[in-house]
Amino acid sequence: MSNLLLTAEKVGIQFGGLKAVQNVNMYLNKGELIGLIGPNGAGKTTTFNMLTGVYQPTEGTITFDGKKLNGLKPFQVTKLGISRTFQNIRLFKDLSVLDNVKVANHNLAKHSLLASILRLPSHFAGEAKMEKESIEFLKIFGLDVYKDELAKNLPYGMQRRLEIARALAANPKLLLLDEPAAGMNPQETHDLMELIAFIRKEFDLTILLIEHDMHLVMGICERIYVLDHGQLIADGTPEEIRNNPKVIEAYLGEEVID
């Protein structure tokens, strides 16, 4: 059986006259933790938007778990098993931490709508199961102590963690993280690195990560793709990327990356 989870073949998108992304070929194997880096405006978030049905590619094909993603809406992509976080935190700010996770879990809840409406025993069993699962999620993220707090009242680093917990509550096969360490201090970033490595293992996940923090990317990713002006200019191991002249010129500059 193939180990491939996702392939993007010659994928691109054009906004008016601007080719924001072009001719991107990418593959993700099951269980891999992969980085996507590049300068501001290189097309990283646009690529995420195409992988999640927010934007439709104007060229190329995206295949996930044997199914073509082109033409699917974001909720259909989520159902197939792709979840994401956003560069700017998007939580239900006026809901509790627990409810934020439960809402995500609800989208995929197994018990039927009819059972919910009629308040049948299976509905309560489903609710109880969901509540238990949601609290288990929060524990993994060290968020259970905040479960009744409103999301907006959490410290910034904890809000970022809640976003990841919420994305995971949808039970994805592939998790896309858009700059999860943005705005975090070095200690929070270090803890986040450990958390990402842990959840990948614990949930048997494949993760694609956009991140400007090179220490984080180089520290945990097995392979890295580099975008510049909408085109992939390199892919390889952190070691290969660190020493790639094209990448150094386009992105890393003279910066020494340890």
Ligand X SMILES: Nc1ncnc2c1ncn2[C@@H]1O[C@H](COP(=O)(O)OP(=O)(O)OP(=O)(O)O)[C@@H](O)[C@H]1O
Site residues for ligand X per CB under 6 A: 15, 18, 20, 38, 40-46, 87
Helix, strand, or coil here: 35?
Answer: strand
CB of 21 vs ligand X, minimal distance in Å: 7
Q: Between 41 and 186, whose beta carbon lies closer to ligand X?
A: 41
Q: Between 86 and 92, whose beta carbon lies closer to ligand X?
A: 86
The amino acid present at 190, given as its one-letter code, is: H
C-alpha to C-alpha distance for 173 and 170, rounded to whole angstroms: 10
Strands 4-15 and 59-64: antiparallel
Q: Between 7 and 56, whose beta carbon lies closer to ligand X?
A: 56
186-202 and 156-169 helices cross at what angle (nearest 10)?
10
CB of 46 vs ligand X, minimal distance in Å: 3
CB of 153 vs ligand X, minimal distance in Å: 27
DSSP 207-247: EEEE-S-HHHHHHH-SEEEEEETTEEEEEE-HHHHHT-HHH
Buried b (16+ CB within 10 A) or exposed e, 86-124: beebebeeeebbbbbbbbbbbeebebeeebbeeeeeebe
**Assigned token pair, 116:** 């919910």
CB of 5 vs ligand X, minimal distance in Å: 22
Q: Between 37 and 154, whose beta carbon lies closer to ligand X?
A: 37
Q: Between 23 and 87, whose beta carbon lies closer to ligand X?
A: 87
Q: Between 1 and 18, whose beta carbon lies closer to ligand X?
A: 18
CB of 84 vs ligand X, minimal distance in Å: 13
The HSE-up count of residue 206 (CA atoms within 13 Å, CB side) is 18
CB of 169 vs ligand X, minimal distance in Å: 25
